[in-house]
Amino acid sequence: MTEIFDEDLFLKGLEQRKGTLGADYVENNLAKADDFTRPFQEAMTAWCWGFGWGDDVIEPKTRSMMNLAMIGALGKMHEWEIHCRGALNNGVTKEEIRAIIHVVGIYCGVPQSLECFRVARKVLEEAGQL
């Protein structure tokens, strides 16, 4: 790991990241990291997951719901799919995912909510929830 980051924050982030996205997914991403991408993987793990997700102020389920709304608003559907799976891991229900997508539609437009519904259907089917 580069010297820029706090090892404790990285390790806290790594634990949270694995807990939400799944250990296999995270370990695969870290294993694929090379000299070009590793600094970003380390920074993102420490900052986003260690700092952003590392406190107890907001529970992981609520953070996942917030992420689905924000990432859906941004239209970053690859990341939305990953976080939709993570949201299920954190206890978000299909009914809550549907409600989040409704809000995305209200504030970001029907086409964006349709994209979210397409991806959510795929994730929910894979999880045996549809």
Q: What is the pLDDT of residue 2?
A: 46
The answer to whether the pTM exceeds 0.95 is: no
CB 130 within 8 A of CB 98: no
**Mean pLDDT for the stretch of residues 11-29:** 95
> φ, ψ for residue 75 (rounded to 5)?
75, 25
How would residue 4 be classed by pLDDT, with cut points 50, 70 and 90? low
Burial of 101 by CB count in 10 Å (0-12 exposed, 13-18 middle, 19+ buried)? buried
Q: What is the pLDDT of residue 25?
A: 94
How would residue 51 be classed by pLDDT, with cut points 50, 70 and 90? very high
Is pLDDT above 90 for 6? no
- pLDDT one-digit tens code per residue, 54-77: 998 999 999 999 999 999 999 999
How would residue 14 be classed by pLDDT, with cut points 50, 70 and 90? very high
The residue among 84, 1, 85, 14 whose CA lies nearest residue 49 is 14
- pLDDT one-digit tens code per residue, 79-123: 999 999 999 999 999 999 999 999 999 999 999 999 999 999 999
Cβ-proximal residues to 36 (8 Å cutoff; 6+ apart), any chain: none
CB 20 within 8 A of CB 82: no
Cβ-proximal residues to 67 (8 Å cutoff; 6+ apart), any chain: 83, 86, 87
